[in-house]
Each structure stands twice: as C-alpha cells, then as structure tokens.
Chains A and B, each alone.
Chain A
C-alpha cells in the first residue's frame, strides 16, 4: 500500500523567507507525485506534478519540487514566499497500477506573516 508523510504540520514564515516543505512517500514501484494547494475557503488545486524525466519540476506561482528517488522524497520549495501563499499544502502520490487512487499526506498549514 502507498502512504505519504508530510513532516511539517504548521509552518510560520515572514514574507520573503524561503520555504521548504518535506514529503516522503512509501511505495516500491513507479509513482506519479503531486503537490496541491488549498487557499482558505477554497478547493484543492494543482501546484505541480512529477511523472518522469527531469526530477526538478516547476509549478505555478514560483514553486518547485525535487524528486529524489533514493530518498523517496518530493519536497516543495519556494525561494521567497508572499503573504498570498498562506494556505494548506498537500503532497500526494499515485501509483498507476492502483486504479487511480491518490493517497494524500496530512497537509501542511503555511502561514506567511506580512
């Protein structure tokens, strides 16, 4: 069975600080990896995804993530956060053989202070 672990439950940063959110997954085969963002009162939307190829993927709003296969990790980064990045961030994994079932981490609440 696949599982996802997000290490940080709540992160508080000041504007312009750098961000890194940890995500580790557990699955022995090939996976698709995702980061979703949920702004206050809204639904989840895709930030970025990794299927194959370059392990450094770039998403919307200046976010990027690096897939490190040996560490089963897919950490999310942003060099300089803004107040508008305040949101809930979810890492998710999907094994193509698993009937389209995505497993989500417990989420990280990011609060950016102006």
Chain B
C-alpha cells in the first residue's frame, strides 16, 4: 500500500496554463506539506496544513494555492504557470507523535515550456 501518493508523476505544460497536483496519504497523519525541489536539489517548504487548517505559508507567489478537502488530502493548484515553476514538487505528511518525521510522496516533475 502506498503511504503517500501523488498524481500526476509527470506534468508538461505551457506557460500561462493552470494545473493541479493531487496528494493523498493513508497513514492517518494530521499534517501535510508541499515542498519544491529545484534543479540544484534544494528542498524548500511551501505550505503545511494541519487538520485542514493552513499553518505554514512560506514566501510563495499567490499563483500557488493549496487546498485540503480533508486531512488525508492536500492538493496544489498553480495559476498562470511560469518557466521558473519547473521543478519537482513533493507532498509529505507527518504527525506530532512521530516527531514530525516526514513521509514523502514520489514527487511530481513539472516542466513548463
């Protein structure tokens, strides 16, 4: 059973388009995250939700909008895609009881042309 899953795995789109990435976890965790990993492998947190409430919102363009319909799902919608948005986006989940150890999804490689 996949603990943290993301769809799609690959996403190729043109500048100006709007796209969404979906994430689901079946670990019973109460906290979920979106990270962006750039071409140099730097990993930066973007957002975090705890029980459907936004608790971390780093300096991210407002073209990026997360949505958590329930605590097992966290989606990321990106408007007006730009070349610089090309990266790998990882979803993760954790819980306080496990010291916020991060469980990562397989990643979505977004390429904007």
Enumerate chain A interface residues (CB-CB to B < 8 A): 32, 34, 36, 38, 42-46, 49, 51, 88, 90, 92, 94, 96, 99-104, 106-107, 109
Hey, which chain A residues are within 8 Å of B94, CB to CB? 100, 102
Closest to A94 in B: B100
List 18 additional A-B contacts (Cβ < 8 Å) besides A32-B100, A51-B99. A32-B99, A38-B41, A43-B106, A43-B107, A46-B102, A92-B102, A94-B100, A96-B100, A100-B31, A100-B48, A100-B56, A100-B94, A101-B48, A102-B100, A103-B45, A104-B43, A107-B42, A107-B43
CB proximity of A4 to chain B, nearest CB, Å: 11
Contact residues in A for B55 (Cβ distance below 8 Å): 99-100
Partner of A46, one of B31, B48, B101, B107: B101
A92 to B42, CA, bound (A): 12
Q: Which B residues, 28 to 50, have Cβ-Cβ distances below 8 Å to chain A?
A: 31, 41-45, 48, 50
How far apart are the CA atoms of A94 and B100 in the complex, in Å? 7
Instruction: For the complex, give the distance between the alpha carbons of A74 and B84 in Å.
Output: 33
Select B43's contact among A34, A42, A46, A90, beta carbons within 8 Å: A90
Q: Evaluate contact between A100 and B96: CB separation under 8 angstroms.
A: yes
Interface size class of B (residues with CB under 8 A): 20 to 34
Q: A100-B31, A107-B41 are in contact. Are A45 and B50 (CB under 8 A)?
A: no
Instruction: Report whether A99 and B101 are in contact in the complex, using a CB–CB cutoff of 8 Å.
Output: no
B-to-A contact residues, CB < 8 Å: 31, 41-45, 48, 50, 55-56, 90, 94, 96, 99-102, 104-107
Please report whether the interface of chain A is mostly helix, strand, loop or mixed according to DSSP.
strand
Give 14 CB contacts A-B under 8 Å. A34-B101, A44-B43, A90-B43, A92-B102, A94-B99, A99-B50, A99-B56, A100-B31, A100-B48, A100-B50, A100-B94, A102-B102, A106-B41, A107-B42
Cβ distance A2 to chain B, nearest Cβ, rounded Å: 12
Q: Which residues of A contact B42 (CB under 8 A)?
A: 106-107
A100 CA to B105 CA, complexed, in Å: 17
Residues from chain A with a CB closer than 8 A to the CB of B106 are 42-43
Are A109 and B90 touching (Cβ within 8 A)? no
